[in-house]
């Protein structure tokens, strides 16, 4: 019999925006202790929102976080920088469930927040039909 349960830890705000919501999202995205990679991906996404929408990304994330109904699933191989560019060097994409993103945690939060649709995409690399088959099997195992 255990002596006592684990104490609930308070999530500290992220260092860049001072937001607990962003810190929680980064913690969900993190896999194998690579917090710096998860932060870089999150901050790049928020920077993209700021550039394209011309709005404060933190306010937009807080306001729309519960309204998101679709999730775009895309995985990446370990050791590649966070990039959304598609070019001849974009060999960092891999079938969903075979890369560095912890999809079990993300899908669990997506279900909690009533995400209704999930789409799988792989921009390059490998044989497309084999990749989508692998991604489909991995997503089925997660769900």
According to the model, what pLDDT value does residue 115 have? 73
pLDDT number for residue 81: 60
pTM exceeds cut of 0.85: no
pLDDT at 30: 74
Nearest to 74 by CA among 86, 66, 65: 86
117 φ, ψ to 5°? -135, 140
Q: What is the pLDDT of residue 31?
A: 65
Q: Where in the chain is the domain with CATH 1.10.455.10?
A: 12-67
Instruction: List pLDDT tens digits, range 52-106.
Output: 778 777 677 667 766 777 777 777 777 766 555 555 555 677 888 888 777 787 7
CA distance between the termini of the chain: 33
**pLDDT grade for 41, boundaries at 50, 70 and 90:** confident
Q: With the C-alpha atoms ordered 105, 36, 12, 17, is the resulting torsion angle positive or negative?
A: negative
- Give the Cα separation of 14 and 40 in Å (integer): 12
- The C-alpha angle 34, 37, 41, rounded to 5 degrees, equals 140
Task: Return the CATH class of domain 12-67.
Answer: mainly alpha
């Amino acid at each position: 019999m255990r002596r006592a349960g684990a104490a609930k830890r308070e999530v500290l705000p992220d260092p860049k925006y001072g937001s607990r919501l962003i810190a929680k999202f980064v913690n969900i995205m993190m896999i194998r202790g690579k917090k710096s990679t998860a932060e870089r991906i999150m901050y790049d996404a928020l920077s993209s929102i700021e550039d394209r929408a011309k709005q404060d990304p933190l306010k937009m994330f807080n306001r729309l976080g519960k309204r998101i109904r679709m999730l775009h699933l895309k995985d990446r191989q370990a050791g590649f920088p966070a990039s959304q560019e598609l070019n001849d060097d974009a060999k960092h994409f891999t079938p969903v469930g075979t890369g560095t993103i912890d999809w079990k945690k993300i899908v669990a939060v997506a279900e909690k927040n009533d995400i209704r649709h999930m789409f799988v995409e792989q921009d390059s690399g490998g044989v497309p039909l084999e990749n989508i088959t692998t991604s489909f099997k991995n997503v089925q195992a997660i769900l």
